[in-house]
Amino acid sequence: MPDPTSRRDFLIRGAALGAGATLGAGLLAGCRRDPAPAAATPADAGPRRGGRLRLGIVDGSQSGNLDVHKPVGSGIIRGFALYSKLWEWSERMTPELALAEEVSINANASAWTIRLRKDLEFHHGKTISADDLIFSARRLSDPQLASPYAALVSRIDRDNIVKLDERTIRVPIKDGAGFLPLPDGWVNFGGIVPTDYDPVRNPVGAGPYKLKEFTPGQRSLFVRFENYFKPGRPYADELEIIEFKDQTSRVAALLAGQIDTAYALTPEQIVPLQAHGGASVLVSRTHGWHGFEMNTAAEPFRDARVRQAFRLLANRPELVARALGGQGRIANDLYSPLDPTFNAGIAQRPYDLAQAKSLLRAAGQADLRLELAAGPGGSAAAQVFAAQARLAGVEVRVRQVDAATYNGPLRDSWTMSTTYRLGGEFLHTASITDAPLAAVNKTHFEDARFSALFEQALGETDVGKRKLLVHEAQQIQHDRGGLLIWGFTDVVDGIAARVGGARAERSHFPTWRFDELWLRS
C-alpha cells in the first residue's frame, strides 16, 4: 500500500482545529479562498477567460486512472480538475470549507454534522445531495475497493452515517471516540461523486473541469464546467495535462512554449529556467518534511540513546544544501510547525558529533553497521547522511529501492528508511505517521504516555487545552521518538509568462489550483 501522504509529485479552518475559538456544538459558517492575486502585466491587468491551460507532469504511466478514491500515479493531479471535496486546502495547507456550507461537531468530536451548499451540481446536471455524500464516504472507506487512502478516514463509522435532510448528514466516529482531524483526512482523496459514479464508464464529479479525453500515459483534456460552485471560475476554456517520461523533456517543453506550468522542479532545473525570458520559477515555502524513520522495534533503534545519537550526528544545513539544493530549511525532528498547537519552545537540536559518539558508546554501538533503505527521491539525502555517519564511526549502507519495493511487503520492516511527507496539522500527521493506529508507522514507535496524550487531544475541541496536550506529546517525540526530521522543502514550479493567477503558498499545490489560473492575451 502506498504511503497516503508521501506523493510529492502530487475542515473547517479555524475553530475546529485551532485558529483560536473553542468549538462546541455550534455551526461553523463556510468560507472560500479569495481569488489569488494575478501577476498581471500593465497591458493585461486581471483574470481573463478563454484559452487552453497546459500542465506538464512527469509520469507517463499507462496504469494512470481517473478514480476519485483510488487514484494511480497522475490520477491524483487529474482529480484536482475533475472532483470537488467538502473541504479544500488553503494556501497555508489547512482545510477550509468547499462544497460544505456548514459543519458542526459535538463536544468531544465523536460526531460530525455536515451540510452542503445550496444548488450544487455534478458535471452531468444532477443536484448534489446527502445521498451522494453518504455514497462517497462509503465508497472511499469500502474494504472491497481497498483504497490505500481509506486509512485516512478509518475512524468514521461508515455503516451508521445518517441522512438528516437532502443536504445534511451526520458522521459518527467509531466507538464514540473523538476524531478532530476528519477534515484533513478527507480533503485530498475525499472527492464527492454521484451515486451513479463509475471511474471508467461515468467519471463524473463537481470539479472546475469536465473530462473530454483521456489517454493513459499521454494526455488528458478537460473543458470548463460552467456550473462550478465558485461563480465565474474556472477561467480557461480547456485544461490539458500532458505526461512526460522525465524531467529534462518536461523542462524543454516549458522553455519551448509547449506547456504552461511544470510542477515540482528539481533544483538543477532552476538556473536554465531563470535564464529564459519566457518562463519563471515560483517558490513555495512548504512544510513538507524530509527525514529518516528509525524502526524502534528492531535493533539498534530499540535503544533511545541510539536514536538520539543519530539525530545529533545529522548535519542538517548540509543535508538541506546538498540533498535539496538549498531549496528548504532545517527542521527539528518535529512536524507541523504551522499548527497553532505546535511546541515552538523546544530548542533546535544542534549538530553534536562528540555527544553522538558518547551516546553510541554508552549503548554499546561504537562500531555500528546498518542498512538505510532509500525510497524514490531519497537517494541524495541517504548518501549525504551516510557520509556524515562515518564521522561518528557508523557505517550506513545505502540500499536504493524502487517504489514497488519501498511500499511493498518490506515497508514496515526496514531498519531505517528515508521519508517525505506533506506538511499538515499535528493530529492528522500523527494519525498517519507515529501515533496509535497510524496508517503508516514505519518507526513502530510505542509510548504509553504519548499514546494517552494523543488520544485525549483527538477529542479536545478547546484549543488552549489541546495545546498543552500536544506540547507534552511533541516533547516526547523530540526526546525519544523514532523520527529524524532534518528539513522542510520548498516546492519549485515552472510558470510560463502567459500564465496569471499563480502565487507562492505554504501549500504544495499552487499550480494545481486550476480554477484560479488564467491565460493572458
Contacts of 81 (CB under 8 A, 6+ apart): 207, 208, 209, 222, 239, 241, 514
List residues bridging with 236 in a β-sheet: none
Average pLDDT of the segment spanning 79-105: 96
At residue 366, does pLDDT exceed 90?
Answer: yes
Name residue, grid cell 473530462: 211
Domain ranges of the chain: 84-206, 211-278+497-519, 286-489
CATH class of 211-278+497-519: alpha beta
Name residue, grid cell 460544505: 100
At residue 54, does pLDDT exceed 90?
Answer: yes
88 membership: H or E segment, kind and range: strand 87-89
Question: Predicted confidence band at 1 (pLDDT cuts at 50, 70, 90)?
Answer: low
Q: In degrees to the nearest 10, what's the CA dihedral of 184, 186, 189, 190?
A: -150
At residue 62, does pLDDT exceed 80?
Answer: no
At residue 269, does pLDDT exceed 90?
Answer: no
The radius of gyration of the chain from alpha carbons, rounded to an integer in Å, stands at: 23
Tell me how far CA of residue 414 lies from CA of 31, 125, 298, 387, 439, in angstroms: 43, 49, 9, 20, 16
Mean pLDDT of the chain: 90
At residue 83, does pLDDT exceed 90?
Answer: yes
CA-based angle 429:431:434, to the nearest 5? 85
253 membership: H or E segment, kind and range: helix 247-255
Q: Are 418 and 375 in contact (CB under 8 A)?
A: yes
User: Which pLDDT value is given to residue 7?
Assistant: 36
Average pLDDT of the segment spanning 296-321: 98
- Which CATH number does 84-206 carry? 3.90.76.10
Burial of 304 (C-beta count, 10 Å sphere; 0-12/13-18/19+): middle
Burial of 505 (C-beta count, 10 Å sphere; 0-12/13-18/19+): buried
Average pLDDT of the segment spanning 470-486: 98
Euclidean distance between the first and final Cα of the chain, in Å? 45
Query: What is the CATH T-level fold of the domain 286-489, as seen in this structure?
Result: Dipeptide-binding Protein; domain 3 (3.10.105)
Q: Which of 6-15, 42-51, 76-85, 116-125 has the lowest average pLDDT? A: 6-15
In order, the DSSP letters of 492-509 are EEEEETTEES----SSS-
Largest CA distance in the chain: 70
User: Which pLDDT value is given to residue 271?
Assistant: 84
Answer whether the bond into residue 234 is a cis peptide, omega within 30°.
Answer: yes
> Which among 321, 238, 214 is positioned nearest to 54, based on CA atoms?
238
* DSSP 8-state symbol, 470: H
Give the number of other Cβ atoms within 10 Å of residue 198's Cβ. Answer: 12
> Which among 346, 272, 242, 322 is positioned nearest to 487, based on CA atoms?
322
Average pLDDT of the segment spanning 32-58: 68
Average pLDDT of the segment spanning 377-387: 96
Residue 267 CA to residue 277 CA, distance in Å, equals 18
Residue 441 CA to residue 483 CA, distance in Å, equals 10
Average pLDDT of the segment spanning 139-162: 94
Residue 103 CA to residue 3 CA, distance in Å, equals 28
Question: Predicted confidence band at 377 (pLDDT cuts at 50, 70, 90)?
Answer: confident
User: What is the pTM for the complete model shown?
Assistant: 0.88
At residue 32, does pLDDT exceed 70?
Answer: no
CA-based angle 378:356:321, to the nearest 5? 35
At residue 60, does pLDDT exceed 60?
Answer: yes
Residue 462 CA to residue 453 CA, distance in Å, equals 14
Residue 491 CA to residue 494 CA, distance in Å, equals 10
pLDDT tens column, 386-438? 999 999 999 999 999 998 888 888 888 999 999 999 999 999 999 999 998 88
